[in-house]
Structure 1
Amino acid sequence: MSGKGSSSYGDYSYSGSGTNDSGNHYCSRDYGNGSNSYHYSNTDGSYYYSNPNGSTYYNSGDGRSTYTSPSGQSYSSTSSSGKK
């Protein structure tokens, strides 16, 4: 993946993407100011985001998710529509 884009964190360029040995897709971005971000999309339906402000977000794919703020505070949620 190549090219440039912009987000709420500023302009970025794609610094890498592909599929790892487990079949999970990843994509990374370089914001040019020392900030980087990446995300994984996993074959089991889960996904993970690491944001340039230091926050992270993980969704298990079955209705559970966890957001961790830049200060390290975690917030979890569970959807009643997930698998039982």
Structure 2
Amino acid sequence: MPDEKGYSYNSSGTNSQGNHYCSRDYGSDASNSNSYHYSNSNGSYYYSNPNGSTYYNNGSGGSTYTPSSGKK
């Protein structure tokens, strides 16, 4: 269940390759209730947002944003 910040943490950590991840629960009202992000040791990172959009940065100046489809 989300707290006063609007989300609760599912899990987070860093693996042996130095890649960090964090998963959050935004509740059933969010388009993507279980959103997450990760960042890699090579500088790339990825966000799966609670509104259903995604963002990826490859760490070398390239990025891709995919807007939400608007569907739940």
TM-score range relative to shorter protein: 0.7 to 0.9
Quote the residue 1:62 is aligned against. 60
Aligned to 1:75: none
More strand by percentage: 1
Is there any run of 5+ residues in structure 1 with no aligned partner, and where? Answer: 72-84
- Higher Rg of the two aligned structures: 1
Alignment of 1:20-31 (within 5 A): 20-31=15-26
Q: CA deviation at 1:54?
A: 1.4
Q: Figure out how many residues of one structure are paired with residues of the other and give that number.
A: 64
The two structures, once aligned, show a CA RMSD in angstroms of 1.7
> Once the two structures are aligned, what percentage of the paired residues are identical?
73
Q: Check if 1:18 corresponds to 2:2.
A: no
Q: Which residue identity lines up with residue 18 of structure 1 in the other structure?
A: G
**TM-score, scaled to structure 1:** 0.67
Instruction: Give secondary structure in 1 for the equivalent of 2:7.
Output: strand
Pick closer, same or farther for the CA change 1:53–1:62 going to 2, 3 Å.
same
